Structure 1
């Protein structure tokens, strides 16, 4: 399963209604309960953890963990050696493996192992970032929008945020500076990252080893998955020196052992108001589920047309299936009456306590009513915003290139540093599969016509007298944007020159004003008032419950705490551990329960008593994929890759009795590197004898 940002899954055989019917979240607005919380490193509850678990966590321990934690594209990771070696999940590197593959050499199916440093291969577009500094910039950001509304509010905020980021990075390309909103706008912090642009693949197992059990086991436990991979960060052609790394512990933890997960959870929505949750349930999630389901069907049909089609569609289909399931799980939570009643009760409690404080009412007004009004506007704008701006291109990489180039040609305010960054991104050599591109474009154009209707002016302008199928074929077969050299050349052209140079660029130019207009309307009429009201709700929370709260996830570095443990549901107890011998017992020989070839070939060498995967009470969400699971000594004992079925509603709340993180143990990874995919070089670097 993937816990990449916004991706999750649910077992195909479980009853969603049954799970959510019994689910009672503990996302109380008072201090976090149980092991709940994805805490920022500058507000981690050290005393609470030490008192509960008898640990000795201090600021120095937190700093070591933070400096060893790594953010990669859509996932989390960690340095595990002083020479830039990075541990993450297989499903976080499978995209790289697919891009490095050819029809004759399939690194997804057969795995990838670099026997020497020279064989480590660069992952196109991959980066590695380490958080080096956190600075509170709340006062500056809030002051920038004071007294403004709509587009003026957005412009002022954006200008100030850009100024803060520019000042902090001072034009140094080795850093990435990002102002991040916390508590739905209640706090703003500058996060400064040390960035590495040269990241290379070191090891990835066969896909059948990493994703044994496929969809039936997905978002489930017990699991028998070697969902682990290694990367290495380079700079100036040499491995990065990483003195802050997590020591590799090749031994499995014991039940009850304290565990910490350091990673970048993507998005949670635990602080949304009832009106926001209801629109999510009634409009946004249903549309997303329907469209993802149809696109998945189209790609699955394509995957059956041949071996090469199956190879190139593997990762996109895998990703779509997981994203479909995360939204399906969210919809299950939001359609559960008991869960929604609990959320309403929490909101009513907060609103009542605010109403009882005249001074607080005077300060913040009624932001809940403000947000209800915003939802009415959002309902009207959502479909055109989604189809013309937010999801334009349907995921086509060529369309994304075209839009980035067109908008850069119009952006007179772009700095040299921003243009250089865009140039690097656009000129990176990345495989483009024309058939997949055409499927995505055809799908997007047909859905836009369906949702916005044939008579919609923007639809008429896009399609003209062509069908979605004919237009997609013309644009994808005619464009030169698959060539990095042409993309670099296009960045030097004017908008008028672009329209003459390429049909896909001309298409984007002809329709971009309408897309930009609906995007601007959404920003002014939805985003701006939402930000205003959410800040006031955050002020209310701080006033009523204090500041010892964790914020919603924002794909920023967090630390959660918990302990190794199974769970009991409806009289059935699920143990915390699986063992490598269980893989062979579970294997049937038929997909998706067929053994990976290397595991089948080396069965006699495998120690079947080694702990394979384990579960813990840590609070995580999509984006935590690849997060190091760490013991109290600060050693890495696994890589988080999944959650159990009860964590499906984790976007909206946490249940300490049932929600579990699923982790591939370092014990299993060590055993695999020793006896399944022998790699003494990596073992030596990890300090394993």
Structure 2
């Protein structure tokens, strides 16, 4: 959703948006164990009950590929966005059958397609473990030792919880390290595709319409979770209310927003503006050019690159939007005033122990500046290659397994083993020709960014030109074979050192320096985490619990109203109609990305044109909220969130409801499309909308 933007718009958009912020329940991504009860009652006359919150929590679903969803039947039916499902659809496709292009519908349960390496999580419980984490990290430890102590206690908590409950157990850091909560999830790994529209309908309008409004998208896909080869029996699932909403209605969203930076310091914001965002943008734009060029070489190349190209285009847009916001004087002034308020209170209350915290973060950011590009290019971005990523996972596995659980890297902890192996042994197709051009590009990019004499670049190139080296690595490795990966995974560390595979050899040559660099970054993060914990005491003393923590891809509750927007002197109604899709397609002469699929064209006379299709609300959302259910006061499904408008870009740093809006598919539009266009009577009967 909010990974999409109109990158051509100027920073002045964000400046106008910041004109009014609202201190209310709307202004937050709330923990479900700490909802804004008083604010909801004061503004909307609504108080959520414990049963209401539990029902929404256990009806909500997290997708391991970065999105949200919800259960909508007792037989494990799950709804999410088409663009959340695109990665799954791509992996299930082949040169002969492109599910992204053609769509899919299972008329019977036997026809539902098993998905590759897709894991869905349902949050079962939350436990505050802050005191235990803090007790394990001594105040006299240096940053490296403190980081190791923190890693050890987190691993201990997660493993104890997994052993006790059998549930996936993740400790989430909240308020930049001021709090730690243990989240326990039920995992579903037998997930099957039920329905997906054609991309021409699910992504109608494409790049020109993204991060805009009005919109006309059927951005929905259905899956089903299974247990013991049978549809899972689900107690908590959402009822669909076919009446939908009206303008002004109170609505809620439960989803998993990925990341926000509302509580960062000015030093961290300056780092984002001057270092991290520009470097990531350079990398993304370079990859987008590469993928566009490769896509033009053949139809099959275009199919292979399609999902990744869309991802890069989306990333380019959101980071273009972020840099516009970071350069916005209004945002900077607002953040500066907030920081000065906190620092003044800290100076007046030395007993809170926050003096010096801001200076420590500033020094940490300066240290990170020298590491950032190399850390991303050598450790984080995996040479833009699935083969390199899996080779690194295999090479590190025996070394990490030999360590005590608390000393391992997070992915190798016992509590993460099931998720790690699901990904490592995925049967997803890997295309050598596609991998080759991506590895070549990464080698060239490394040399440009770090210099051709940089030690990591020299090792990566191996004395060869990028094209020759890429061919040696990609065409010479056997890591693409799942059976070979299983063989390597069974080796001990000594045996792994003798493996003669070019991709494994590259990982081996880089690993010591790469690990050392990661340890430096971890120590810097530890310094910042401790400083933020002290700042959080100041914030709490001033504001209490009226501020929600930044997003961490954990379950949150969003609040808002269905509301149109006054933009450029014109009032934009909150709803579009499904008939407007045909009008917009005709206006563009049915040319991509405005060409409708055959199913829509054939059903044109059958579709109830006045049916509400997409709508906007003031609910605070960000990337990761894609697929979040939109709910009414009764907790009933009335839509699904899939995007934000251009003004919502500023939500990464500050909330405003002046112009910013979340964009959703209306329940009535979904039902009408399933009925009149796709004749999905089985789905409609299962949903059983009121």
Contact 1:25 1:654 in 2 (8 A): no
Select which of 539, 552, 556 maps to 1:554: 552
Query: What secondary structure sits across from 1:642 in the alignment?
Result: strand
Mapped contact 1:25–1:339 kept (Cα < 8 A):
no
Is the contact made by 1:26 and 1:33 (CA closer than 8 Å) also made in structure 2? no
Please name the residue that 2:409 is paired with: none
**Is contact 1:138-1:188 (8 Å) kept?**
yes
Question: How far has the Cα of 1:437 moved from its partner?
Answer: 1.4
Partner of 1:15: 9
Q: CA deviation at 1:614?
A: 0.3
Q: Equivalent of 1:384, from 364, 374, 377? A: 374
Q: Give how far 1:171 is off.
A: 6.7
1:473 to 1:171, Cα distance in 2 relative to 1, 3 A:
farther
Instruction: Identify the residue that residue 398 of structure 1 maps to in structure 2.
Output: 387
Matches within 5 A, 1:515-664: 515-524=514-523, 526-587=524-585, 588=588, 589-664=590-665
Alpha-carbon deviation of 1:305? 1.0
Contact 2:25 2:559 in 1 (8 A): no
- Tell me if 1:245 matches 2:243: no
Q: What TM-score do you get using the length of structure 2 for normalisation?
A: 0.95
From 336, 351, 365, give the equivalent of 1:375.
365
Report the RMSD for the aligned CA atoms in angstroms: 1.6
Counterpart for residue 130 of structure 1: 122
Shift of the alpha carbon at 1:496? 4.8
> In the aligned structure 2, how far is the partner of 1:435 from the partner of 1:251?
50
Does the 8 Å contact 1:84/1:239 carry over to 2?
A: yes
**Counterparts of residues 230-629 of structure 1 (less than 5 Å):** 230-360=222-352, 363-394=353-384, 396-411=385-400, 412-413=402-403, 419=417, 421-498=419-496, 499-524=498-523, 526-587=524-585, 588=588, 589-629=590-630
Kept in 1: contact 2:21–2:657 (CA 8 A): no
Change (3 A) 1:527 1:102: same
Spell out, residue by residue over 1:196-215, the C-alpha distance to the aligned partner (whole angstroms, 9 max, x if none): 11111111000010111111
Cα offset, 1:50, TM superposition: 2.9
Q: Distance in 1 between matches of 2:194 and 2:10?
A: 38
Q: C-alpha displacement at 1:252, in angstroms?
A: 2.6
CA distance in 1, matches of 2:382, 2:395: 14
1:597, CA displacement in angstroms?
A: 1.9
Query: Alignment partner of 1:108: what SS?
Result: helix
**Residue 182 of structure 1: which of 171, 174, 178 is its match?**
174
State which of 136, 148, 153 in structure 2 corresponds to 1:160.
Answer: 153
Q: How much has 1:353 moved relative to structure 2?
A: 1.6
Cα distance in 2 between the residues matched to 1:579 and 1:557: 31
Aligned to 1:71: 62
Once the two structures are TM-superposed, the CA of residue 77 in structure 1 deviates from its matched residue by: 0.4
SS of corresponding position for 1:542:
helix
Q: Which of these residues, 7, 14, 18, is aligned with residue 24 of structure 1?
A: 18
Structure 2: runs of 5 or more not aligned:
406-412
Q: Deviations over 1:125-175 (max 9, x none)?
A: 111111111101011111111221221111100110111111111176x52
Offset of 1:566 from its aligned partner?
A: 0.9
Q: Secondary structure in 2 aligned to 1:243? A: coil
Instruction: Give the equivalent residue in structure 2 for 1:101.
Output: 93
**2:408 alignment counterpart:** none
Partners of 1:383 and 1:63 in 2: CA distance: 43
User: How far off is 1:236 after superposition?
Assistant: 1.2
**CA–CA distance in structure 2, aligned partners of residues 418 and 182 of structure 1:** 20
Deviations 1:94-145 (A, max 9, x none): 1111111121111110101011111111111111111111101011111111
Instruction: String of CA shifts for 1:339-383, please: whole Å, max 9, x gaps.
Output: 1111101111111122122323xx222211111111110111112
Partner Cα distance (1:320, 1:417) in 2? 31
Q: Which residue of 2 aligns with 1:197?
A: 189
| Residues 59-102 of structure 1, C-alpha deviations (whole Å, 9 max, x = no match) | 11111110100111200000000010001000111111111112
Please state how far the C-alpha of 1:306 moved relative to its aligned partner.
1.1
Between the aligned partners of 1:416 and 1:559, the Cα distance in structure 2 is: 30
Structure 2 distance, partners of 1:196, 1:312, is 27
Shift of 1:326: 1.2
- The separation in 2 between residues aligned to 1:201 and 1:597, in whole angstroms, is 22
Structure 1 portions without partners, runs of 5+:
none
SS at match of 1:592: coil
Separation (CA, whole Å) in 2 of partners of 1:143 and 1:416: 23
SS of equivalent to 2:383:
coil
Higher mean C-alpha deviation, range 232-241 or range 142-151: 142-151
Deviation at 1:450, TM superposition (A): 1.5
Please name the residue that 1:57 is paired with. Answer: 48
1:34 Cα deviation (Å)? 6.5
